[in-house]
Structure 1
């Protein structure tokens, strides 16, 4: 598209005051087979996705004033200048970037955002457009996270448990495979209405991006909704996948695995979706998907040793800190949340961190690390010191537990019964501890029971009976109901996960 064409299209759509799909309806140039998308998504609940693919994805910027990004120096890019040159040249050849220009070619003010790069894989780097900083207003501050085009919208990402459910449904020894879209957001074309929001400057020249960019708040939503639509097509063909943004993980019966995998590859080609061939893996029994290694023979999930070591070293540094930034806190929580997907009990020891995170709005704010926060860090350090990264995929059938334990407590004593071994214990509570909350005493009763019968319940499905609602909610939901009770669970959780 030449300069006169794209600038005139932007002018027409911009002055219409509406997204392209809603009024002007000028088709954007892409590789998508729109007719096939329309055909396969005819009865899909979110079929407006096809309109966005045809006419461009709106950014959903709703502020009346235009963003004012900082004119930040990009000296940190000097060491990656050849990479940036190569990136811009490649994306321009693919038609994803307009430019270079000496001056703004559009009919309105052009927002120029800073660039930065982050490591990607072993040696490659990813270009990010900084849409989150502004002198007065950043682009992302003008994009709401809970609405899209004036309608309430909640973006849902699939969970680790959903992929586990697919494995359990297909059974031990089933086939696992994965596919990865190439260039992710870069395959999705921007609504021409919003071109003035995606400018940046490099080597004194102006460029305008016409694809969705890394760093824009609305980009993950657009990509996730697009791949959700593809998963729906596959579901109608009885092919079971989990899609996380641009990654697809599939599970099949062994006799159908090759057919399913090849069917998906062919469908992607017909739809006009480009896959990253080097990242696609055909059916196998052991496969790494979204950073975790799934083994359908042993029915286990393994977190790579390097991720555990990185997290352990990060926590060691954090334990000594008195303050940190919100961004640093997000990094810690992200790594622990990743591990907690395999170790469910670990979620209990992220709850206070999340509560702290919610108090701070800006990434550069200094966060005070409290003693309670530090206690959770120490729990994780104790756990990670012995954890080998392997977690058993749990059997969902709990109709018949292997062991049943009941415990109880009052202000004078605690006790428990193991109905499998027909054993019991009882102990008086010292006077000095009788002023503790009853929920704390109930939790200690459970802890002592687990410690006492560890050898008889190891690697078994255990059903616990407890008449204290706070303890039940904490153990079943990893919910922080009473602070002191949470302290009481730390040693018990360590015993259980070991």
Structure 2
């Protein structure tokens, strides 16, 4: 894999002279106006996305490779191990950008490599998993451990916590459901400095999140390009809610059984 980034992305798009009047101001008898697309423009992302899509298509066309994706100005390139495809894509991308005048942030260029961070998540093609980087993991754990000690939390801080948890949920399977109580607690509240009670249920969800972050980070495997039905691979599961029972799985002639912990029958 490799990662390449465009410098001053939005500023590459030049405004039409007829639009200058919409992007200027007067100060001390002088007129100042933008000649390139500013970041604060509400349409800036959508306009630049069109250019990014064109650039991605051009690299695919010139390199005859399909393994390139982008998110605005961040480009992810990939190729089979020891094939040279990734390096070929990088060189092709760099040449095209040079030819059409698109500057690259060489200090942000990374690869070819098997492990790297892209859009805040660590991609590991050796283990074929996605995980949360250690610094981000430490930050989110700190927020959770601070919140569980509180009786009340402001709407602003709870929104920040939920935003971080939603991000982490991309790398930890099935954990997003434990955000439900947090989201319900924020419903109908408008002032960011309003205090929200941290209920026992919310604290139980925080404990669950801490468990997931500790034990299940880096277990989300890459999805298969072709999904097979359970009847085709002979995979079946079932469970029973009675605390004296448990769950079982059957896979191609093999089976396993797990009995619910005795402590679960007390809840």
Tell me the TM-score range normalised by the shorter chain. Answer: 0.7 to 0.9
Does structure 1 residue 226 correspond to structure 2 residue 60?
no
Shift of the alpha carbon at 1:274? 1.4
Shift of the alpha carbon at 1:177? 0.9
Cα distance change, pair 370–402 in 1 and its aligned pair in 2 (3 A): farther
For residues 10 and 21 of structure 2, the distance between their equivalents in structure 1, rounded to whole angstroms, comes to: 18
Cα distance change, pair 285–200 in 1 and its aligned pair in 2 (3 A): farther
Shift of the alpha carbon at 1:336? 1.3
Query: For residues 446-487 of structure 1, what are the alpha-carbon distances to aligned partners after superposition, in whole Å with 9 as ceiling and x for unaligned?
Result: xx3xx69xxxxxxxxxxxxxxxxxxxxxxxxxxxxxxxxxxx
Secondary structure, in 3 states, of the residue corresponding to 1:238?
A: coil
Gapped regions of structure 2 (runs ≥ 5): none
Shift of the alpha carbon at 1:262? 1.0
Secondary structure, in 3 states, of the residue corresponding to 2:161?
A: helix
Shift of the alpha carbon at 1:358? 6.0
Contact 1:234 1:240 (8 Å CA) reproduced: no
For residues 312 and 210 of structure 1, the distance between their equivalents in structure 2, rounded to whole angstroms, comes to: 45
Secondary structure, in 3 states, of the residue corresponding to 1:421?
A: strand
Look up the match of 1:406: 238
Question: How many corresponding residue pairs?
Answer: 246
Does structure 1 residue 314 correspond to structure 2 residue 148?
no
Look up the match of 1:241: 68
Secondary structure, in 3 states, of the residue corresponding to 1:239?
A: coil
Gapped regions of structure 1 (runs ≥ 5): 1-175, 426-447, 453-487, 492-498
Larger RCO, structure (CA 8 Å, separation 6 or more): 2
Look up the match of 1:182: 7
Match of 1:261 among 90, 97, 108: 90
Cα distance change, pair 367–189 in 1 and its aligned pair in 2 (3 A): farther
TM-score normalised according to structure 2 size: 0.73
Cα distance change, pair 367–246 in 1 and its aligned pair in 2 (3 A): farther
Does structure 1 residue 250 correspond to structure 2 residue 77?
yes
Query: For residues 358-403 of structure 1, what are the alpha-carbon distances to aligned partners after superposition, in whole Å with 9 as ceiling and x for unaligned?
Result: 64556x352524524443333223333x247423524635546686
Contact 1:212 1:219 (8 Å CA) reproduced: yes
TM-score normalised according to structure 1 size: 0.42
Does structure 1 residue 195 correspond to structure 2 residue 23?
yes
Query: For residues 159-179 of structure 1, what are the alpha-carbon distances to aligned partners after superposition, in whole Å with 9 as ceiling and x for unaligned?
Result: xxxxxxxxxxxxxxxxx1111
Contact 2:173 2:220 (8 Å CA) reproduced: no
**Aligned alpha-carbon RMSD (Å):** 3.7
For residues 192 and 336 of structure 1, the distance between their equivalents in structure 2, rounded to whole angstroms, comes to: 42
